[in-house]
């Protein structure tokens, strides 16, 4: 499945024309062409490679999955790899969708590895800023990267909200320790995945703002600077959330240890109280004469001793908050 667009002098003129016509349009002055390919095979990539004279290594990377977000510079074009992300609120799992981009002086080709990459969202960004279309491929690439980075930022914000909810569960007596631990590990795993796609984007966007990059309109530099600022914020936020999740895990373990200590103190305190009547009745159970032996006064003395000593221990432990 392919989609095409043609801009002439900054105005959208044509859509969904045949891929074979791209080379003819590119020979015309003032024309910028966009081609989108979803899960293309080797023949599709070979066709567009011949149309745009793309480097063999870049074409190979576009056909392979799990590439690192990067920017490669070739003589005739640029090659960019990035990832859009989506966070599952129920499971806390982060999914990523890869897109490879070829950028020539008057054409941009996006190669999506999955249909779940929302290319309609990118097109909506372009349509929302028609006044920037006159900047050609600089405009198209900016719209794509802006959409991707905003998705990163939204995912970080959602993870932040989820971690705040997790913090509240730490001191909730109704929540189980196992559920807190499981959720903590799920969020930490998602943060690690997010960091892998967010952190390299800093270098990608920074490289695009270099003045020695041929074919890019300098008027778009402030817009790329804005994207770069969002990348930095998302990166710093991701790092702080990783530390926060680690703190949550450590706090949960500390709370479990404190609860265990409280339970141990309570059990020990009650055992000490129970030991008093056990000791006294054991003493009076001896088969040898002792003060009060075979007398009614011995019963009263032992009973009073049990009550007084047990009550004394209970009051003492209660004051120390052991029971």
pLDDT tens digits, 198-209:
999 999 999 888
Q: Give yes or no for residue 282 having a pLDDT over 80.
A: no
Segment among 42-56, 241-255, 274-288 with least mean pLDDT? 274-288
Domain boundaries, the chain: 2-256, 260-319
Q: What does the alpha-carbon distance between residue 316 and residue 323 come to, in Å, rounded to a whole number?
A: 10
* 95 or 284, greater pLDDT: 95
Closest CA to 102 of 22, 189, 10, 16: 22
Rounded mean pLDDT, 301-318: 79
pLDDT digits (tens, 9 = 90+) for 155-170: 999 888 888 888 777 7
Sign, CA dihedral 297-303-309-312, equals negative
The predicted pLDDT at position 211 comes to 66
Sign, CA dihedral 25-28-34-39, equals positive
The predicted pLDDT at position 188 comes to 85
Rounded mean pLDDT, 174-184: 73
- CB-CB neighbours of 302 under 10 Å: 16
Phi, psi of 17 (to 5 degrees): -90, 165
The predicted pLDDT at position 201 comes to 93
Q: Which CATH class is domain 2-256?
A: alpha beta
| pTM of the full structure | 0.76
* Phi-psi category of residue 222: left, alpha or beta, with phi > 0 → left and psi -120 to 50 → alpha: alpha
Q: What is the number of alpha carbons within 13 Å of residue 41 lying toward its C-beta?
A: 1
Q: How confident is the model at residue 103 (pLDDT cuts 50, 70, 90)?
A: very high
- CB-CB neighbours of 49 under 10 Å: 17
Tokens 């209970």, residue located? 314
């Amino acid at each position: 499945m392919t989609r095409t667009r043609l801009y002439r002098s900054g105005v959208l003129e044509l859509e969904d024309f045949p891929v074979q016509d791209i080379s003819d349009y590119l020979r015309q002055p003032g024309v910028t062409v966009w081609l989108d390919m979803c899960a293309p095979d080797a023949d599709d990539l070979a066709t567009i490679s011949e149309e745009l004279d793309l480097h063999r290594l870049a074409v190979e990377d576009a056909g392979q999955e799990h590439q690192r977000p990067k920017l490669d510079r070739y003589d005739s074009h640029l090659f960019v790899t990035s990832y859009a992300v989506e966070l599952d609120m129920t499971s806390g799992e982060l999914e990523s969708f890869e897109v490879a981009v070829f950028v020539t002086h008057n054409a941009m080709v996006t190669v999506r590895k999955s249909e779940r990459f929302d290319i309609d969202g990118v097109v909506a960004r372009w349509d929302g800023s028609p006044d920037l279309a006159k900047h050609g491929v600089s405009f198209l690439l900016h719209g794509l990267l802006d959409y991707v980075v905003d998705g990163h930022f939204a995912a970080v914000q959602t993870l932040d909200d989820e971690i705040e909810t997790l913090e509240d569960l730490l001191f909730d007596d109704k929540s189980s320790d196992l559920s807190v631990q499981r959720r903590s590990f799920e969020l930490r795993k998602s943060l690690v995945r997010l960091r892998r796609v967010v952190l390299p984007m800093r270098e990608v966007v920074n490289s695009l703002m270099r003045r020695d990059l041929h074919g890019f309109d300098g008027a778009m530099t402030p817009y790329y600077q804005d994207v770069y600022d969002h990348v930095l914020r998302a990166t710093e936020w991701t790092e702080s959330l990783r530390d926060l999740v680690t703190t949550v895990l450590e706090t949960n373990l500390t709370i479990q240890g404190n609860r265990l200590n409280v339970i141990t103190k309570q059990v020990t305190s009650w055992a000490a109280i129970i030991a008093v009547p056990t000791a006294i009745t054991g003493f009076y159970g001896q088969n040898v004469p002792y003060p009060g032996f075979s007398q009614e006064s011995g019963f009263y003395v032992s009973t009073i001793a049990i009550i007084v000593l047990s009550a004394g221990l209970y009051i003492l432990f209660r004051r120390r908050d052991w029971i």
